Amino acid sequence: MRRFAFLLTSAALLLALLAMVQAVTRLAPAHALVQPLLIACVAVAQLLLMLRWRLIGQVLAAVVMTVLAVILLSYMLPEHWISLRAWNRLSDWLAPELGLEAWRPALLVTLTLSLQATGILTHARAALGGPLLLGSAAMLLAIQLGEHYAPDDMHLLRYAGDLNHQSMLWLLLGGQLLGALSHWRPSDLTLRRSLWPSLVLASLTLLFWHQQKSATDRTLHAEVQAEGQALAEQLTRDIDAHLDAMERFANIWTLFDQLPGRLDWANQAAPYHRDFRYILNIAFVDPDSRILRVHPPNGLNQRALGARLYDAQPAGRAAVSQALEHQRAGRTEVIELLQGEPGIIHYLPIVVGAERRTLGAVAMAMSLPRLAETLFESVDVRQARFTLQTGGQVLARRGPDALLGPWQYTTQLDIADRPLTLTMQPSQASLLARQTRYPTVSLIVGLTLAILLYLVLYTYGTLERQHRRVHVANSDLRREIRTRTQLQREVEWLARHDELTQLPNRRLFMETLGAHADSRPLSVLICDIDHFKRINDHHGHLVGDRFLNRLGQIGQAAVEPHEGLFSRYGGEEFVACLPGVPLEEAEAIAEVIRRRLEQADLHHHDGSALTVSIGVVTLVAGPLDVAVLMQAADDALYRAKHEGRNRVRTARPLDLSAPS
């Protein structure tokens, strides 16, 4: 698997190097060179990591991550914090005459590389969010693929890389994934519980970002379009106001029945010319279409005096005829004026007298280039390029020719019933300065929260697993302690009891005897089964063991009510310790044991009943001497055996206070 990871990463590096060569040879935009350069650096860092040169690889990844962090800041920080102009100055310092947007990688490419570089820095370990980092990178690449096959013309920023760059990122991601799988345990419940909720949060973040950035781009597009429309409407209102003023100007001369004097014409026309600077001149045309008066009286206008418009300006003949012959306002199409500029001439008839005689007409030559200049004075031509045209003819153009935005707005102007087209294309810088950063911030913050959620869940799961292991270990330890305690108790019990009969053994008997050293009287019984060897020889040891057990039960039942201890002394011998029991009572207890055993339906091979011989001794005074006491009991037992067995014999009471 490591070999395949190495091959995929090497393929990504090779494609990145080829893309860089193509970008240089084809003089492609700067971002077409920067993106494969960053991809190549991440691929080299990954290869160094695979070759066990971890320190060098991580240093390279950290350098790339620093560059990517600066790029992400340029996408995130609001305009009033760090303006786009400031970013462009920084960019110009790094690469003269190269704006930020010219070289800055696409947003999703930058984020994808950031996640992959972070994966290198963390070795893509599950405990440090490796699965989520690579999973989020895969989702970002999937969105870029969708952006390629379903592009949105409303996008202002470059969000996705081209297919060539995406293929490099996919190869790089595949290499990282294969290299990390050997460190992950897909069956790990903690990993699964941490990964899926975090991936869901990352997916919701991407969906929300996609909807939000589309909405903000459309909103900005509508705002700029509305500004262009408002500009066109303002210009139309200005032209309409100019026409109304010119009609009032023409109506003034209907009060006179003679040709206006030069001074009167100049005095009346001067204010109108001053207010409407795009009017080249205001002229008086006689019924024969000759220009007799003109304002302002500059050299260009003076040369037009006396010109017959029917002859000098055939393109406007219909409009002149409309005013002079039909006494209706006339307007030319966009024609070349006598001053050599494209424009429109308005002709307003001057009708005098009751007989409605045509005195002449007022001619107003409106220069469309100057009209555009007037329009462009109210806007910042550095922020957009404005083009005024008619019928495919460009009348005026102002603004930058390079680094224009992707949006273009076209508005139809109605200039005295003559259609003109105003085209506005904002610059990329002006649009980016106005674009809200909220979608990008929400995307980066959402992905960060998804990573934090993964880390919290994974840490919690790890701690829970460790707690569970500690709990299991504690339970095992407690169980082991209980087992050892029980074994200790059993060992201690076995050390003081007979394993066959479960009765106290000789050791416990001696300890009990010593514990009652001061009890007087102190009686001791020694019991010995008669002819027990015959039982083992003829019935076997299992039957012998059963007989021993039966005697133990009988003896224990007889002795314990008197707070005594009945124990197995060894072989077929049993002893009893009866503190505080006098000789007569001890003898009676011994007789009970003898009689009950005889009646216990236990038989020898010849049918005779199983019997026991018992020796009894009682210490009535003096210090306890176990050897003397046991010897006296044993002597009594010997007499019982000698006298025929199946009987109880007592020794004389022992008084060890005086010398014997």
**Listed ranges 82-86, 96-100, 223-227, 557-561; the one with the highest mean pLDDT:** 557-561
Q: Do domains 256-374 and 506-655 have the same CATH topology?
A: no
Rounded distance, CA 645 to CA 632, Å?
Answer: 18
HSE-up of 524 (CA within 13 Å, CB side)?
A: 33
What digits encode the pLDDT tens for the residues 8-52? 999 999 999 999 999 888 888 888 889 999 999 999 999 998 888
Question: With 0-12 CB in 10 A as exposed, 13-18 as middle and 19+ as buried, what is 533?
Answer: exposed
Rounded distance, CA 284 to CA 294, Å?
Answer: 6
Does the structure show a pLDDT above 60 at 416?
no
Torsion, Cα of 69, 71, 73, 76 (10° steps): -130
At residue 139, φ and ψ (nearest 5 deg) are -65, -40
Nearest to 157 by CA among 104, 78, 207, 209: 104
Residues 453, 459 contacting (CB under 8 angstroms): no
Which of these ranges, 129-133, 153-157, 481-485, 530-534, has the smallest mean pLDDT? 153-157
Q: DSSP string spanning 223-272?
A: HHHHHHHHHHHHHHHHHHHHHHHHHHHHHHGGG-SSPPPHHHHHHHHHHH
Residue 602 parent element (H or E): none
Residues 301, 282 contacting (CB under 8 angstroms): no
Amino acid letter at 357?
Answer: R
What digits encode the pLDDT tens for the residues 376-392? 777 777 778 888 777 77
Per-residue pLDDT band at 658 (split at 50, 70, 90): low
Task: Please check whether the domain covering 506-655 is classified as CATH 3.30.70.270.
Answer: yes
Per-residue model confidence (pLDDT) at position 521: 95
Token code pair at residue 277: 């600077």
Per-residue model confidence (pLDDT) at position 149: 74
**CATH number for domain 256-374, candidates 3.40.630.10, 3.30.450.20, 2.60.120.10, 3.40.50.2300:** 3.30.450.20
Residues 103, 120 contacting (CB under 8 angstroms): no
Please give the sequence-ordered ranges of beta strands (E in DSSP) within 515-564, or none if there are none: 522-529
Sign of CA dihedral 483, 489, 492, 496: negative
pTM of the model: 0.67
Percentage of the chain beyond pLDDT 70 is 97
What digits encode the pLDDT tens for the residues 258-281? 888 888 888 888 888 888 888 888
Rounded distance, CA 476 to CA 474, Å?
Answer: 5
Question: Residue ranges per domain, the chain?
Answer: 2-185, 256-374, 506-655
Does the structure show a pLDDT above 50 at 660?
no
